[in-house]
């Protein structure tokens, strides 16, 4: 069995198929067996698990997933990689490859069909440009999820983990922490990939909460409030919210709510905790 974590094997496959990397898909293939082992360990994958892999590439991580899990479905957007995957995964009977955009797949139906609606584990090596839409899509669609273990740009992983008052804190931090417990499991340098990315990466595990981490009457309105606060993060919170066309709030109402919460009128959005956003949302809406 030829493992693609061996760089020579990866290069041989790419040459065999005359594969050229496309920037629009943000393709960087892993070539480090230690990192692959860390991803499997971080995701806690065992023989009972159904795993959804997003962006298998040429199947490097897929091989490891197939050996650890009961069943794997890999969703790949690039049609040029489908014949490559048919070749590199030919020895695995427990892998299904779907040529589709993950944002267009009905994942609830997939979990029902493949895992009888039980929580699934998602594993992915995500390109930077689409990290946020994919992660938010997984959480917001109410798919039965156990965890999401992803390789992302290191800076994005730090943004998911960070708390109030830091420059990395923002709408992504709050959304991830509302739905899950984030934990960085490994840092991955650029030399672990072909081609080498310009920046470092990290493996982060998002363990989904059974219930969201805070109670709020209307989560959708809370996130509209959060987006309004961070769309103009240099402004005070009252000005950012007042200026947001998505909210239609007058300044008096905002000031009154801030006062009731014991927050100063000149507070900025990056100072509020998730609990405070939930409280503010309940007061305003």
The alpha-carbon radius of gyration of the chain (Å, integer) is 21
In this structure, CATH architecture of domain 219-284: Orthogonal Bundle (1.10)
Domain ranges in the chain are: 7-208, 219-284
In the prediction, which pLDDT does 210 show? 93
Residue 89: name the closest of 24, 202, 3, 168 by CA. 3
- SS3 of 214-227: the string is CCCCCHHHHHHHHH
CA distances from 121 to 47, 73, 107, 232, 234 (A): 12, 11, 12, 35, 38
Measured between alpha carbons, how far apart are the two ends of the chain, in Å? 59
| Residues 103 and 3: beta-carbon distance below 8 Å | no
Q: Which residue's entry shows tokens 């409280």?
A: 279
Give 12's contacts (C-beta < 8 A, 6+ positions apart).
none
CATH, domain range 7-208: 3.40.50.150
pLDDT of residue 1: 63
For residue 134, the model assigns a pLDDT of 93
Would you write out the chain's pLDDT as a tens digit for each of its 285 residues? 678 888 999 999 999 999 888 777 778 899 999 999 999 999 999 999 999 999 999 999 999 999 999 999 999 999 999 999 999 999 999 999 999 999 999 999 999 999 999 999 999 998 878 899 999 999 998 899 999 999 999 999 999 999 999 999 999 999 999 999 999 999 999 999 999 999 999 999 999 999 999 999 999 999 999 999 999 989 999 999 999 998 989 999 999 999 999 999 999 999 999 999 999 999 999
Q: Is 123:204 a contact under the CB 8 Å cutoff? A: no
Output the pTM of the full model. Answer: 0.93
pLDDT at 39: 97
Nearest to 42 by CA among 211, 207, 154: 207
Buried b (16+ CB within 10 A) or exposed e, 151-187: bbbbebbbbbbbebeeeebbbbbbbbbbbbebbbbbe
Rounded distance between C-alpha atoms, residue 195 and residue 106, angstroms: 31
């Amino acid at each position: 069995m030829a493992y693609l974590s061996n760089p020579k094997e990866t290069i041989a496959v790419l040459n065999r198929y005359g594969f050229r990397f496309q920037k629009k898909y943000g393709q960087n293939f892993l070539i480090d067996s230690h990192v692959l082992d860390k991803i499997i360990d971080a995701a806690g994958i065992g023989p009972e698990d159904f795993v959804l892999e997003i962006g298998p590439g040429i199947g490097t991580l897929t091989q490891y997933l197939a050996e650890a899990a009961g069943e794997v479905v890999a969703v790949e957007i690039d049609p040029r990689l489908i014949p490559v995957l048919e070749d590199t995964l030919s020895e695995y009977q427990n892998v299904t490859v779907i040529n589709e955009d993950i944002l267009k797949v009905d994942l609830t139906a997939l979990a029902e069909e493949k895992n009888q609606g039980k929580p699934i584990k998602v594993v992915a090596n995500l390109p930077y440009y689409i990290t946020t839409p994919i992660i938010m899509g997984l959480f917001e669609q109410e798919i039965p999820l156990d965890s999401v273990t992803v390789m992302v740009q290191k800076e994005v992983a730090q943004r998911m983990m960070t708390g109030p008052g830091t420059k990395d804190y923002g709408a992504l931090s709050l959304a991830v922490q509302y739905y899950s417990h984030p934990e960085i499991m490994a840092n991955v340098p650029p030399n672990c990939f072909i081609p080498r990315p310009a920046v470092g990466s990290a493996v982060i595990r998002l363990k989904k909460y059974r219930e969201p981490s805070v109670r709020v009457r209307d989560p959708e309105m809370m996130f509209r409030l959060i987006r309004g606060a961070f769309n103009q993060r240099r402004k005070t919170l009252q000005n950012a919210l007042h200026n947001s066309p998505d909210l239609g709030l007058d300044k008096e109402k905002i000031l009154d709510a801030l006062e009731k919460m014991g927050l100063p009128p000149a507070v900025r959005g990056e100072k509020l905790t998730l609990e405070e956003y939930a409280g503010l949302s309940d007061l305003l809406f």
